[in-house]
């Protein structure tokens, strides 16, 4: 393991004023996104859509792009590998390597993320294709009192640790993503308690499996109310609770934290990120690793039509710029309402 090289990439991934584009939707997930805009989910349409993003001015604000197995192997319409387009835009290509979730035996309603089998071989192949970081998502569901079980927390944290160690051995920076879901009617206090428990177990496993914290990026959920909770915590409370969680659980050796949006609306994910960054100074760079919160607007504008490409690129660039400002604590509602 070359820790110096890993640390260099990790720091570049959290460059001030930039964030990570999560363009790693599985074929099934992107089909749902395309169905919503009445676009057929063919390999060419998926390629054209992502090429549109990678050729946009919004890439100025993107430090890295998480790709899916199909995408990392695709070429643009002119034959240029999509990985090269990302590099030419000044961003770092990465790859999603988990293989989704399966029901966890003995734990009704809970899941474990799979994909560790032959992962070392896959990581070597992805490195050869140009990836310099990877992502693995552990999904932790919760309700008001029964779940998550300690079993679910432990097995998912263990898998994250094993994945991260394999990544570093292969020369890839691991994005460690323990996501406590925001579905449900739990309040923000319950989210805080569960996320803290998950985070402590994840860092315990990372230490046990000798993962170098200086060569990784953390991708957690923010501490928010469940979507169905009748009382939604405000932006200020979300920022305060999230920063409190980081201070309690995340070692200063971690170069940066790239939050997931977790189903928040575009503008709310940006507002939360901005408020969190106004709580500094903190020992980590705090930025974004958003999928839907960056892509929902350009998808609606694009709608599969070539004539809409420029307008969709402007929509993507606007969202990327807003989140870049938020990553510096410089976002305002006035800037949000600027024409895309």
The answer to whether 220 touches 174, Cβ cutoff 8 Å, is: no
Query: Could you say which of 177, 179, 201, 205 is catalytic?
Result: 177
Burial tier of 294 (Cβ tally within 10 Å: 0-12, 13-18, 19+) = buried
The answer to whether 6 and 168 have CB atoms below 8 angstroms apart is yes
DSSP 75-126: B-TTS-BHHHHHHHTT-EEEEE----EEE-TTSTT-EEE---TTHHHHHHHH
Is 177 considered catalytic here?
yes
Q: Which residue has the tokens 């507002």?
A: 271
Active-site residue, from 18, 96, 135, 219: 219
Phi, psi torsion values for 42, nearest 5 degrees: -100, 165
Nearest to 160 by CA among 225, 226, 101: 101
Q: Which of 84, 202, 221 is nearest to 153 (CA)?
A: 202
- Pairing, β 111-113 against β 101-103: antiparallel
Cβ of 248: how many Cβ atoms within 10 Å?
Answer: 11
Cis peptide before 83 (omega within 30 of 0): no
What does DSSP assign to residue 263? T
- Report the candidate in 257, 256, 280, 258 with the shortest Cα–Cα distance to residue 330: 280
Nearest to 69 by CA among 82, 53, 54: 82
| Contact by Cβ (8 Å): 143, 103 | no
- Catalytically annotated residues: 177, 219
């Amino acid at each position: 393991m070359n820790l110096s090289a890993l640390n260099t990439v990790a720091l570049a991934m959290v460059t001030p004023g930039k964030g990570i584009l999560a363009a790693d939707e599985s074929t099934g997930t992107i089909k749902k996104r395309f169905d919503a805009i009445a676009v057929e989910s063919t390999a060419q349409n998926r390629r054209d859509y992502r090429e549109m993003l990678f050729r946009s001015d919004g890439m100025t604000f993107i430090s890295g792009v998480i790709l899916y197995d199909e995408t990392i192997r695709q070429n643009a319409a002119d034959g240029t590998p999509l990985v090269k387009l990302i590099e030419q835009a000044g961003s770092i290509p990465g790859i999603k390597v988990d293989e989704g979730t399966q029901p966890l035996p003995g734990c009704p309603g809970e899941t474990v993320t799979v994909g560790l089998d032959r992962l070392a071989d896959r990581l070597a192949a992805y490195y050869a294709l140009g990836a310099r970081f990877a992502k693995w998502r552990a999904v932790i569901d919760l309700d008001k009192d029964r779940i998550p079980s300690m079993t679910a927390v432990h097995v998912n944290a263990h898998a994250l640790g094993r994945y991260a160690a394999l990544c570093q051995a292969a020369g890839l920076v691991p994005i460690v993503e323990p996501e406590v879901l925001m579905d449900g009617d739990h309040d923000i206090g319950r989210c805080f308690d569960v996320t803290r428990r998950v985070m402590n177990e994840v860092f315990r496993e990372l230490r046990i499996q000798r993962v170098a914290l200086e060569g990784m990026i953390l991708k957690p959920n923010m501490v928010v109310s469940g979507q169905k909770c009748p009382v939604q915590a405000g932006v200020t409370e979300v920022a305060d609770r999230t920063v409190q969680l980081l201070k309690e659980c995340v070692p200063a050796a971690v170069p940066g934290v790239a939050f997931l949006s977790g189903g928040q609306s575009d503008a709310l994910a940006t507002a939360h990120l901005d408020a969190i960054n106004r709580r500094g100074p903190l020992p980590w760079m705090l930025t974004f690793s958003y999928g839907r919160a960056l892509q929902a607007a350009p998808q609606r504008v694009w709608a599969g039509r070539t004539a809409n490409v420029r307008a969709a690129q402007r929509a993507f660039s606007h969202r990327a710029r807003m989140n870049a400002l938020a990553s510096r604590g410089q976002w305002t509602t006035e800037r949000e309402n600027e024409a895309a």
